[in-house]
Amino acid sequence: MNKKWGLSALALVLSLSTVLAGCGNDDKKTITFWTPLTGDDGAYMDQLVKDYNATNPEIKVKHVITADMYTKVSTVLNSGKGVPDLAIIHADRVPGFVKQGQLEPMTAVTTAQPEIKEENYLPQAWNTGNIDGTQYTVPLDIHSNVMYYNKDLLKKYGVESFLDDNVVTIDEMLSLQGKLDEGDYVVNDALLGWVILGQIQNLGGDIQENGKPAVNTPVMKEAFEDVKKINDAGLMTPFGEDGYLMFQSGNVLFSTDGTWSSTAHAKVEGLNFGVTNVYSATPDKFTNRSSSHLFAMLKNKNRSEEKVAGIGAFLEFIRENSMEWAKAGQTVASKQVIENPEYKNYMQSFFTSNEKEIQSLYIYTYEYYPYIAEAVDTYCGDIVRGNVDIDETLATMQKFVEDKIAEGTSGAAK
């Protein structure tokens, strides 16, 4: 029995060693690449990595999908062990990571790969990684809040003209009050927090003033009140109902979810849909609140020059060959890809079809944006539904953000 126990213990040790080796970056011929892509998009990234490794690079890439990635990143950075060679982070994480000294500049990569440069990427995606003139990231995409529409319902209610200028206004939506069949709605509450943050830009506002968080403001109140009008008119899907699924069931004219949802909507039999900009209070300005997946090198004193060169080669491959990423419903950041005629086959190409659309993809880069997004997401549903007093709740939200900043805790990122 002792002998068996000894063999079992040895097997356990060997097994744990293998797992730890896979999580770390000790393999000199493998770039360990962490991403938070736990949905269907993880499979598309797997394919991109597989395609790159099929080119037989000197150093291959190992894609590791990491749930709760930011918590794990904090752990490995604090310990200095198991830090991945490369990671994907969200745009709103960059300012905080840089301030805390947690990112390596991409200087060596951009020097070795001259085509990895600003003019070859969508400007918002590239600029989110530039802090005080230093480039800390290379962009993969822009993923945005957008608005899908049910073509059959627009025709049924005679409002196809709403799309004539590609801007559906709140007043146009309100014109349908009392005109819909029972069980039908104009719009759902999908990504409602993103919608509110887009309205802030439509109204010419911001979420910070002189570096301080600005939540309890007249412009934030106006944004909530504008969207609340739709609910008050009985045109928004009921509170507590899954408005996303109601759109897929054919009972909602507009769904304000994400670019990535196009793949799921396309799988719904009989759903005849298209995509346009998120609604606005005015036809003169529209904003599709966005974020970006960015390649970054976390601080790691053990990352070799050879691996940095390998990372550069991988990122250049992605720049040239990320059409696969368009299949995930993402707006690819590489201009070489989005200017390829094949890219027009993907619905999200609408948002790079002209300069005005590109400019509508707004990414917040304020250092404390994650806390503000968390506050908006937490309280927006109750405000829009009229469940709480708006002035009192905005004050609560302001304190929520200020307390988070004081605590130095981690906000939510998307």
Residue 264 CB contacts under 8 Å (≥ 6 apart), including other chains:
248
pLDDT in tens, 282-294: 999 999 999 999 9
Predicted local distance difference test score (pLDDT) of residue 408? 78
Task: Write out the two tokens for 71.
Answer: 């918590």
Residue partners of 121: CB distance under 8 A and separation at least 6: 138, 139, 319, 333, 334, 335
Q: How far apart are CA 313 and CA 307, in angstroms?
A: 10
Q: Which DSSP symbol is given to 278?
A: P
Q: Measured on CA atoms in the order 70, 75, 76, 78, is the torsion positive or negative?
A: positive
CA distance 108 to 98: 17
Burial level of 52, CB count in 10 A (0-12/13-18/19+)? buried
- Name the residue with tokens 């991109």: 48
| CA 178 from centre of chain | 36
The pairing of beta strand 137-139 with beta strand 293-298: antiparallel
pLDDT of residue 409: 52
- DSSP E strands in 183-224: the ranges are 185-187, 208-209, 212-213
Contact 35, 63 (CB under 8 A): yes
Going by their DSSP bridges, the two strands 141-144 and 208-209 should be labelled as: unpaired
The residues, any chain, with a CB within 8 Å of residue 228's CB and separated by 6 or more, are 383, 384, 386
Provide the 10 A C-beta neighbour count for residue 74.
Answer: 13
The three-point CA angle 240-245-251 to 5° equals: 95
- The b-or-e profile of 5-42 (16+ CB within 10 A means b, else e) is eeeeeeeeeeeeeeeeeebbbeeeebbbbbbbbeeebe
Residues ≥6 apart with Cβ < 8 Å to 260: 39, 41, 143, 328, 329, 330
**CA pseudo-torsion sign 242, 145, 220, 395:** positive
> Mind listing the domains of the chain with CATH numbers?
26-140+292-349 (3.40.190.10), 144-290+368-407 (3.40.190.10)
pTM value is 0.90
- CA 34 to CA 83: how far, in whole Å? 9
Both tokens assigned to 251 = 């009972």
Strand order of the sheet with strand 185-187?
185-187, 252-255, 147-150, 273-276
CA quadruple 115, 119, 124, 130: dihedral sign: positive
213 beta partners: 208
How crowded is residue 263: how many other Cβ atoms within 10 Å of its Cβ?
Answer: 18
* Residue ranges, the chain, pLDDT below 70: 1-26, 409-414
Predicted local distance difference test score (pLDDT) of residue 27: 81
In whole angstroms, what is the distance from residue 255 CA to residue 248 CA?
A: 9
